[in-house]
Structure 1
Amino acid sequence: MLSRTAADLYWMSRYMERAENLARMLDVSYSLSLMPQDGRDGLDELAMPLLITGTMEDYRARHGELDAKRMLHFFALDESNVASLYNCMAAARSNAHAVRGRITSDMWENLNAFWLEMRDIAAQGLDRYGISRFCEWVKQCSHLFRGATVGTLMRSDAYRFIRLGTFVERADNTLRLLDARYELLGEDSDDPNDASARAYYQWSALLRALSAFEAFAEIYRGSPRAGKVAELLLLNPEVPRSLRACLTELQQILASLTGDNGRPAQRLAAELEAGLRYTSIDEVLETGMHAWIAEHIERVNQLGHAIQQSYLEVA
Structure 2
Amino acid sequence: MELRVLRYFLMAAREENITKAAELLHITQPTLSRQLIHLEEELGTKLFTRSSHRIQLTEDGMLLRHKAQELIQLADKLEKEFQQGQEEISGNIAIGSGETNGVQFLADIIRQFQETYPLVQYDMYTASADDIKEKLDQGLLDIGLLTEPVDISKYNFIRLKEKERWGILVREDDALAEKEVIRPEDLLDVPVFLARRTLVRNELEGWFGDIYDQIRVAGTYNLINNAAVMAEKKVGVVFCFQLQNRFDGLKYIPLYPPVETGAVLVWKKSQIASRAVRQFLRFVKEYRDITPEASM
TM-score by length of 2: 0.26
Higher helix share: 1
Instruction: Indicate the structure (1 or 2) with the bigger Cα radius of gyration.
Output: 2
Give TM-score scaled by structure 1 length.
Answer: 0.25
**Between Structure 1 and Structure 2, which shows a larger proportion of strand residues?**
2
